[in-house]
Amino acid sequence: MPRFAIPQGAGPKRHRLELQTAIDVADPYGQVVRTWATTATYWASIDQDRVSMDMNATQVKQERSGLITMRYFGPIDSAMQRFKFGDRILHIKGVEDVLERHREYRISYHELLGAAAT
């Protein structure tokens, strides 16, 4: 049985995403630490465009990028917000309000894979 029931008539928007917002808090030693808090959950579709790999002398960096399509819900701050899909973290690269009608977003994302993601 699925954790979330997919709404009837959802069509391709069948992925459940959590919108997370960065919060800077002070630890017991006074150091500022960035944490992420889930502010809302949304239904969306996720399309993967490509996976790239960058190698240098000491490490391998893999990155996946793609497009999220979802209903419009208000402004998105790409510097202070990200999406979480299961255990995947999707960093926002760009946000497009389709035809500027405030009905649908197209959001480009990237995520780090492997050891670079931790």
- Burial class of residue 62, CB neighbours in 10 A (0-12, 13-18, 19+): middle
Residue 21 has pLDDT above 50, yes or no: yes
CATH of the domain at 38: 2.40.10.270
**Nearest Cα to 3, choosing from 105, 60, 109, 85?**
85
Classify residue 56: in a domain, yes or no: yes
**Nearest Cα to 111, choosing from 44, 81, 45, 66?**
66
pLDDT (tens digit, 9 = 90+) per residue, 54-86? 666 676 778 888 999 988 888 888 889 999 999
Classify residue 7: in a domain, yes or no: no
pLDDT (tens digit, 9 = 90+) per residue, 39-53? 999 998 888 877 776
| Predicted pLDDT at 81 | 92
Classify residue 3: in a domain, yes or no: no
Tell me which residue range forms the domain holding 71. Answer: 15-117
Classify residue 107: in a domain, yes or no: yes
